[in-house]
Amino acid sequence: MSESEYIDCREGCGACCIALDISSSIPGMEGGKPAGMRCIHLTGDFRCALYGNPERPAVCSAFRAERAFCGHTREEAMKILSSLTDAENRY
């Protein structure tokens, strides 16, 4: 994928911190978190409290926002990411 296909994370979105399943350990959530559950490190204004912290899971640090997954709004991102997780769980 080219760099031009990535977008900047939408401020105040946090859809990836809710919709996605994170199987790796997160501080305070040693077993990770299931899809649809809000990460305990997602702040009230939908920002990651671990951002830039070495304790932040590698899977979170590696996630790169792109329009195909994040859409144009937070609501669209939640729908897209949730549908991907639902489809993955069906197989």
Q: What is the pTM (predicted TM-score) of this model?
A: 0.83
pLDDT of 3 reads 53
pLDDT of 86 reads 67
Helix ranges, the chain (H) = 16-19, 58-62, 67-70, 74-90
pLDDT of 5 reads 81
**CA gap 17, 44 in Å, rounded:** 12
pLDDT of 30 reads 93
Q: Measured on CA atoms in the order 2, 68, 51, 58, is the torsion positive or negative?
A: negative
Confirm if 57 and 24 have CB atoms less than 8 A apart.
Answer: yes
Backbone angles phi, psi at 61, to 5 degrees: -65, -30
The stretches in the chain having pLDDT less than 50 are: none
